Amino acid sequence: MINEAMYALGDEPSAIRELFAYGLKRKAEIGDDKVFDFSIGNPSVPAPAAVKEAILALMEEDPVTLHGYSPAAGDPQVKQVIADAISRKFGVTATPGQLYLTAGAAAGLAISIAALTHPGDEVLVISPYFPEYKTWIEAAGCTIVEVPAQVPSFQIDTEAVAAAITPKTSAVIVNSPNNPVGAVYTRENLEALATVLREAEERLGRPIYLISDEPYREITYGAEVPYVPAIYPRTLVCYSYSKALSLPGERIGYIYVSDAMPDARDVAVAVAGAGRALGYVCAPVLLQKAIARVVDVPSDVAAYAENRRLLTEGLAQLGYEFVQPDGAFYLWVRALEPDAQAFSERAKGFELLLVPSNSFGCEGWVRISYCVSADTIKGAMPAFKALKESYEQE
């Protein structure tokens, strides 16, 4: 009599985790340097030294205050620091009352979806997409509506979004820089999306919220990442420090309900209520306070930039087709046969662990996580060559 939907979620195989587990086993068999594991998005760059310094300094404070409960939405001083940083960085007026600190972007998304929807609503996602979106949308009793991105640019297909909106649409989730593709949505593309959403709001007489999932905002290679609330005011930004500061296991991020939104205060209240309903009490306080001290520390993207160069140059030379990544640390590569899963399986025979695109709601591609050592990329090139040749010899 346990909940069978929850059982199914707990029992569901994850292609990424299975590939990762296979990699660990395989490395034990033939040696770490013989297996080229591109499965997992765990940052390979260490957290900046300033994070360690902040935590060490905080540990000298009074432990009763340091480790005590913060208000549910976060420590007021920490929220002020983050709001100021948002205001400075994007030239807006962000107020602390519109911030709700979360245990990472996952919590932020689950909470935002619960706050903005009613059972039976539809939530649009741009495919390929991070697979847990489906879990959280369905947990809120809603239906996920997949809108394929344009191929091969993987920008939002705004006409397809317009066609997919119905009177049940309550929210659209975008993720730029994008996991799994590495695309960054251009200003023009986001402006076109905003126009579509505004027209739909007017036509349907109801708000449509934009949820901007931004854990990779700082991981870019020169491209502009436009500030979404300035383009579409009815935006909730779900941010995380997991990737920017290499703290994925610490679970610290925020929801920012844009001050520019007409119903800004009400939405912030609903976010706080959804946090309660989902069992969140406050984001981990030691990390909250550490973040306040490192809010302006830049992300270290040098290693990812070098990996990106090695990988794209190497694969281009071998004749692979891929999406030139503008952000995040993922490369989206065309599978050498239509069935991505079969391609990923064959790649395993060459000790290459590539996540098939089926995991992200589309066919025909694989995701390469290049948050690995440069040696893994260099070592993998002969395997990529042999993999390609195996298809050419058929």
Report 331-390 residues binding a second copy (CB under 8 A): none
Nearer to a second copy, 248 or 327 (CB): 248
Nearer to a second copy, 110 or 192 (CB): 110
Residue 49 has a CB neighbour count (10 Å cut-off) of: 10
Minimum distance between the CB of residue 249 and a second copy, rounded to whole angstroms? Answer: 3
> Any contact of residue 10 with a second copy (CB under 8 A)?
yes
Minimum distance between the CB of residue 270 and a second copy, rounded to whole angstroms? Answer: 4
Nearer to a second copy, 245 or 323 (CB): 245
Minimum distance between the CB of residue 100 and a second copy, rounded to whole angstroms? Answer: 10
Which range, of 68-76, 122-130, 308-316, 324-332, touches a second copy by CB under 8 A? 68-76
Nearer to a second copy, 266 or 321 (CB): 266
Residue closest to 236 by CA, chosen among 267, 205, 206: 267
Among positions 268-307, residues that touch a second copy (CB under 8 A) are 268-287
Per residue in 351-387, is it b (16+ CB within 10 Å) or e — as a string?
Answer: bbbbbbbbbbbbebbbbbbbbbeeebbebbbebbbeb
Minimum distance between the CB of residue 268 and a second copy, rounded to whole angstroms? Answer: 8
**Site mask for a second copy (CB under 8 A), range 69-108, x = bound:** xx--------------------------------xx-xxx
> Any contact of residue 12 with a second copy (CB under 8 A)?
yes
Among positions 39-58, residues that touch a second copy (CB under 8 A) are 42-47, 51-52, 55-56
Nearer to a second copy, 148 or 284 (CB): 284
Task: Judge whether 197 and 172 are in contact, CB under 8 Å.
Answer: yes
Contacts of residue 116, Cβ cutoff 8 Å, sequence gap at least 6: 170, 171, 209, 211, 236, 267, 270
Residue that has been written with the tokens 């993998």 in this structure: 380
Nearest-angstrom CA–CA distance, 272 and 266: 10
Nearer to a second copy, 247 or 347 (CB): 247
3-state secondary structure of 355: strand
Residue closest to 128 by CA, chosen among 360, 284, 389: 360
> Any contact of residue 118 with a second copy (CB under 8 A)?
yes
**Site mask for a second copy (CB under 8 A), range 138-157, x = bound:** xx------------------
> Any contact of residue 7 with a second copy (CB under 8 A)?
yes
**Site mask for a second copy (CB under 8 A), range 187-206, x = bound:** -------------------x
Contacts of residue 143, Cβ cutoff 8 Å, sequence gap at least 6: 120, 121, 122, 123, 137, 168
Residue closest to 77 by CA, chosen among 91, 90, 61: 61
Which range, of 31-39, 63-71, 334-342, 349-357, touches a second copy by CB under 8 A? 63-71
Minimum distance between the CB of residue 5 and a second copy, rounded to whole angstroms? Answer: 7
Q: Copy the structure tokens of residue 97.
A: 């009352």
* Residue 82, H or E segment: helix 76-90
Nearest-angstrom CA–CA distance, 147 and 248: 28
Contacts of residue 287, Cβ cutoff 8 Å, sequence gap at least 6: 241, 247, 250, 251, 252
Which range, of 76-84, 131-139, 321-329, 346-354, touches a second copy by CB under 8 A? 131-139
**Site mask for a second copy (CB under 8 A), range 206-245, x = bound:** xx--------------------------------------
Residue closest to 45 by CA, chosen among 379, 370, 375, 314: 370
Nearest-angstrom CA–CA distance, 38 and 377: 9
Nearer to a second copy, 6 or 28 (CB): 6
Nearest-angstrom CA–CA distance, 308 and 326: 10
Nearer to a second copy, 119 or 338 (CB): 119
